Amino acid sequence: MGNEAIARGAIEAGICFASAYPGTPSTEIVEALADVAGKVGIHVEWSTNEKVAFEAAYASAIAGVKSLTAMKHVGVNVAADILMSSAYSGVNAGFVLVSADDPGQHSSQNEQDNRWYGLLAHIPVVEPSSPLDAYKLIKEAFKLSEKYMHPVIFRSTTRISHTRQSIELELDPFVERKCVGEFERNIERWVLVPAHGRKQKQRMMSIWRQIREEEGSPPFITVINPGMKKAIVASGIAYAYVDEVLDTINKKNEYTVVKVNLSVPLPLKPIKEVIEEAEKLVVVEELDPVVEMQIRSLAQEHGIAVRVHGKDLVPVNGELSLEIVYEVLARFEGREIAKPWKSIGRIKTNPEVPPRPPVMCAGCPHRSTFYILKVSANKAGLKNPIFTGDIGCYTLGYQKPFETQMTSFEMGGGVGIAYGLSKVVKEPVIGIVGDSTFYHACIPQSINIIYNMGKALVVVLDNYYTAMTGHQPHPGSGMLATGEKAPRIPAERILEAIGFKTYVINPMNIEESIEKVTNAYIEFKKGKPVAIVSRLKCALQVLRYARRSGIVLPAYGIEENKCTACMACINLLACPAIVVPSSSKKPEILEDICVGCGLCAYVCPFDAIVLKREGSPGWIKAWL
């Protein structure tokens, strides 16, 4: 996998420190590093958020220990403060930030192009075109960083990070590495007060000009078939599409192709030579016109009359594909778009497969919590509550029948937006956040509710893991990235320490939880700062543990003679284990999917849902 290739290349480059916060599509980089940390002798951690991860790895690098930090594209927003300053001060060892961008928004709230961060911060951006490229170029990125003693951004994308490719490994992972650093006491360099910052910016701009002037050769810039009248400049993964399309239509000998792996700052000399010889050129890149803008500026500055095409032909949204790039080149040449391959198109099935939106898993504790929150609101007389949400599995609470996520912008917004709304609306506001996100971004917001006397109620959904990205541990898990034991920091202790009256519930104990939450709402209506922590392990982890341990989980079924087809179980829960067969008007429970949470039996008004399979003795401990 591309992310594993990045991890392997970083190990071969000699890193001794790696930190990250999990986020698709970047997660597997540090997972792969954590798997071998003990064998190769490196420190690997899941930090509490991206800013903390960046600071930790950057500190390692200024002390002379080669380091890497990784995060998804929106995570760089969290780390942007220290990112900007790091370029002023530089490093004393190789330091690479891997930004895994997400064109097409496969698992993100936006598809921002993080190459802009390179231009904004004056940090070079290296882009691979394939997993093999990523494996080789991450090592070159560390060399670049050490050559100029400057941070480097390594921009992957979902298609690079999650594509698999056979790679012939180049070096032994057990290289000699420096793992003990020494801090250089250099006040002028590390203390960025204005007088020092102004000097450090001059150093930074000198490095920026050097990179632009000196790095215009492979592996960062490769000019293929120079001297042609038509040219294509392709950066990162766009090059892979261009290369395959030209091969398919047998036109490789008609174009000069510039493979760009250093898109920021774009080295000027080789590009100037190409545009001086070409009559027209098209820039193919995913998302924003970062390379195109630099080429247009270069052509204008030197009075070069080449016709530059880019986002007038190439989509500015979403991922590229062979089809899209083929159409771009057809329009560039002014010819009819007739694909040289047979399109498979949509596979037809009989009957048609219905659309399947993502749903919470069977037994997901969030489903029970959302049900409890809404039932308790009715019991407590809490009218028309506004539920603000955050980034995680629980964002699916926006769907019917839950409708307990009415906003979702960024990590931390579940509580931050709740506070702001509570100051300006009449309705009660409930801010919902997952456990990992609470540690990541919601502690300052929770403090702000107390300090500025907000009226928002905070709900932390604690399922013991950063579940959405693959069950990485966090400060409430009691485990490190490498599997070693760690201190647990329960969310309720933090909330209580800053002034919240906190109620802890187990959402599998529905009656007890409804009573507690109802009491919490009553306290909340009196104007008191209240928080709820709903704690129960992620159902997927329970299933895995049960299978490994030979534990049988209970399962429920529906007695047809009692069922009236009222559909309460369907309409209130939307559990994927409960289905209505086409041959029947009554629901049934798929025993293979049911994990025995019992919520459906609780909501059935006719007691038609009963235990069909007994669980092993002590099965409940698997959930706790």
Query: At 597, which CATH number?
Result: 3.30.70.20
Q: In 3D, which of 23, 2, 34 has the Cα closest to residue 11?
A: 34
DSSP string covering 281-345, please? EEEE-SSS-HHHHHHHHHHHHHT--PEEESTTTS-SSS---HHHHHHHHHHHHT-----SS----
Cβ–Cβ < 8 Å for 254, 228: yes
199-251 tens-digit pLDDT: 999 999 999 999 999 999 999 999 999 999 999 999 999 999 999 999 988 99
Residue 345 lies in a domain: no
- Residue 27 CB-half CA count within 13 A: 14
From 480, 501, 536, the end of a domain falls on 536
pLDDT at 352: 79
**pLDDT in the model for residue 411:** 87
CATH code at 75?
3.40.50.970
Residue where a domain terminates, one of 288, 316, 333: 333
Q: Which two tokens stand for residue 427?
A: 């309705």
Do 527 and 590 share a structural domain?
Answer: no
Per-residue pLDDT at 346? 63
Q: Same domain, yes or no, for 206 and 231?
A: no
CATH number at residue 271: 3.40.50.920
Are residue 198 and residue 292 in the same domain, yes or no?
no
**E strand or H helix at 235:** strand 230-235
Query: Do 191 and 262 fall into the same domain?
Result: no
- Looking at the structure, do residues 379 and 505 belong to the same domain, yes or no? yes
| DSSP one-letter code for 397 | G
Q: Which stretches of the chain score pLDDT less than 70?
A: 341-347
Structure confidence at residue 618 (pLDDT): 87
Structural domain range at position 588: 552-623
Residue 413 within a domain: yes
pLDDT of residue 108: 87
Does one domain contain both 390 and 458? Answer: yes
Q: How many domains does the chain have?
A: 4
3-state secondary structure of 233: strand
Q: What is the pLDDT of residue 583?
A: 84
User: Beta 152-157 vs 95-101: how paired, if at all?
Assistant: parallel
The answer as to whether 610 is a domain residue is: yes
Claim to verify: residue 506 and residue 575 sit in the same structural domain: no
- Bridge-based pairing of strands 262-264 and 125-126 is antiparallel
Using one digit for the tens of pLDDT, what is the confidence trace for 453-502?
Answer: 999 999 999 999 988 888 999 999 999 999 999 999 999 999 999 999 99
pLDDT on residue 314? 95
Whether 286 is covered by a domain: the verdict is yes
226 and 193 within one domain: no
283 domain residue, yes or no? yes
210 and 250 belong to one structural domain:
no
- Residue 440 in any domain: the answer is yes
For residues 157 and 229, membership in a common domain is answered with: no
* Tokens 């329960």, residue located: 490
For the chain, the distance separating the N- and C-terminal CA atoms, rounded to the nearest angstrom, is 34
**SS3 for 69?**
strand
Q: Is 209 exposed, middle or buried (0-12, 13-18, 19+ CB in 10 A)?
A: exposed
> For 287-316, how does the pLDDT look when each residue is reduced to its tens digit (9 = 90+)?
999 999 999 999 999 999 999 999 999 999
Cα–Cα dist 362/540, whole Å: 9
Question: Between β-strands 230-235 and 280-284, what pairing exists: parallel, antiparallel or unpaired?
Answer: parallel
The confidence score (pLDDT) of residue 341 equals 66
Strand order in the sheet with 280-284: 221-224, 256-260, 230-235, 280-284, 307-309
Among 512, 536, 560, give the residue marking a domain's end.
Answer: 536
Residue 176 lies in a domain: no
61 and 92 co-located in one domain:
yes
- Does one domain contain both 525 and 569? no
Residue 353 is assigned to a structural domain of this protein: no
For residue 193, count other CB atoms closer than 10 A to its CB: 9
